[in-house]
Amino acid sequence: MKKTKEISRRKLLGIAGLGWMFDALDVGILSFVIAALQKDWNLSTAQMGWIGSMNSIGMAVGAFVFGLMADRVGRKNVFIITLLLFSVGSGLSAFVTSLTLFLILRFFIGMGLGGELPVASTLVSESVPAHERGKVVVLLESFWAGGWLLAALISYFVIPNFGWQAALILTAIPAFYALYLRLNLPDSPRFQAMNVSKQKESSVKKIARVWTKPYVKQTTMLWILWFCVVFSYYGMFLWLPSVMIMKGFSLIQSFQYVLIMTLAQLPGYFVAAYLIERTGRKFVLITFLIGTAVSAYFFGNAETLPLLLTSGIFLSFFNLGAWGALYAYSPEHYPTEIRGTGTGLAAAFGRVGGILGPLLVGYLVAAKVPLDTIFLIFAVSIIIGALAVLFLGEETKKKELV
């Protein structure tokens, strides 16, 4: 019986993880496509910033809308809808010839991306026992590194030879996989067992409940944390290939160096997964966030290739490890009937940071603000997120979900 449950758990992690990987593939491809579009469409830095920000606007809307839906129609159904939405949108965006149409599609793609991530982590959180929940959710997040690595490989080998359109077409493959998910993915046992009367609670009441006295402290902490992490991540990583070009490297060289940095994401996840059930969520989050801030500072100030690569590797290691802990930590603060809503709202507020981050970089670069100053802003943001966890966060290691 135990062996059967273990196989089922691995199957859930594999199915949800592959969906997560496709999500990362799309976001990763976008960072390289922005650099390629700048050359093909002669975009200004402000226009480049808007591409990343429009993606985040869609993610904010998606996290909000689909987070609410997940508490009404189930985690599985929303997971499939969001996967289809961003997969089909990515394929269609390969055929547009104007920035306006590209931005419109990025909004809908972002909705799918923003909805899928918190719903998938909620689904997995509710399907594994408390003593290994954190580790399993961080391992789920590790599929993100696989998607980014795949994006870096496709960008390095495909974009220079076949164009950015071919790379985007490849991201449409998950649409076919979504049909397979419909038949093979079980829904959360906690959602299935939830009292029907609780399911019928209105969305407005669910949103209000997240801010009632039992949850206001953790909701405040999660909103600050999500905003700071998403603001800095999308500000830094969506611009990473373009920043390498600004530092004097060619398009192909920048893709190559970002690929090297991306390899450090997997060890970051695995170390976080190892520590999270041993040292707790707060320790992992605070440690990895501080590591991210220090790495961002040195990356912004790097003037030699060895320092640039070293700080970039540590930036990937610590930042993505922190992301894994964030997704494990967030759903553990709410009961089943508002877990999708609470996690989705925090993620949606975080996506506001994802809108501002890429835009800020675009406008600051246009204003000739030095890169070291820009990365210092992101380092300070990360420190604020770490302080929120330190002073407002509660330890949820081995906490039984209700």
C-alpha–C-alpha distance, residues 297 and 277, integer Å: 29
Give the global pTM.
0.82
pLDDT, average across residues 24-30: 85
Split at pLDDT 50, 70, 90, the class of 388 is very high
Percent of the chain with pLDDT over 70: 95
Count other C-beta atoms under 10 Å from residue 363's C-beta.
13
Distance CA(128)–CA(136), nearest Å, equals 8
Q: Whole-angstrom Cα distance, residue 289 to residue 218?
A: 18
pLDDT (0 to 100) of residue 200:
61
Predicted confidence (pLDDT) at residue 184 exceeds the cutoff of 80: no
Between the alpha carbon of residue 144 and those of residues 151, 285, 368, the distances in Å are 10, 17, 33
Does 345 score more than 50 pLDDT?
yes
pLDDT of residue 266 exceeding 80: yes
**pLDDT over 70 at 197, yes or no:** no
The band of 5, judged by pLDDT with boundaries at 50, 70 and 90, is low
Q: Residue 4 has what pLDDT?
A: 46
pLDDT digits (tens, 9 = 90+) for 117-146: 888 888 888 888 888 888 888 888 888 888
- Among 58-72, 171-185, 247-261, 388-402, the range scoring the smallest mean pLDDT is 171-185
Please check whether residue 21 is in contact with residue 142, taking contact to mean a CB–CB distance below 8 angstroms.
no
Q: Is the pLDDT of residue 381 over 90?
A: yes
Across residues 33-41, what is the average pLDDT? Answer: 88
pLDDT at 182: 66
Nearest to 265 by CA among 10, 18, 26, 28: 28
- The domain at 9-181+210-392 falls in which architecture? Up-down Bundle (1.20)
For residue 253, give the H/E element and its range.
helix 251-262
The residue with greater pLDDT, 368 or 178, is 368
Residue 97, classed as helix, strand or coil, is coil
Q: What is the pLDDT of residues 206-237, one digit of tens each?
A: 899 999 999 999 999 999 999 999 999 989 98
Confidence of residue 7 (pLDDT cuts 50, 70, 90): very low
The SS3 call for residue 1 is: coil
Higher pLDDT, 389 or 187: 389
Is residue 350 classed as helix, strand or coil in its secondary structure? helix
Helix (H, G, I), strand (E, B) or coil at 211: coil
pLDDT at position 31: 82
Task: Mark residue 368 as left, alpha or beta (left: phi above 0; alpha: psi -120 to 50; beta: remaining).
Answer: left
Query: In residues, how long is the chain?
Result: 402
20-34, 260-274, 316-330: range with lowest mean pLDDT: 20-34
| List of residues 6+ apart from 402 with CB closer than 8 A | 335, 336
- The helix (run of H) or strand (run of E) holding residue 324 is helix 305-329
pLDDT of residue 218: 96
Q: Is 186's pLDDT higher than 80?
A: no
pLDDT digits (tens, 9 = 90+) for 74-120: 888 888 888 888 888 988 999 998 999 999 999 999 999 888 888 88
Distance CA 288, CA 299 (A): 16
pLDDT for 1: 46
In which residue are the tokens 């669910």 written? 206
Per-residue pLDDT band at 362 (split at 50, 70, 90)? confident
Mean pLDDT for the chain overall: 87
How does residue 17 score in pLDDT terms, banded at 50, 70 and 90? confident
Rounded Cα distance, 171 and 258, in Å: 19
In the predicted model, what is the mean pLDDT of residues 296-315? 93
pLDDT tens-digit map of 230-264 = 999 989 987 888 888 888 888 778 888 888 888 88
Which one-letter amino acid corresponds to residue 333? H
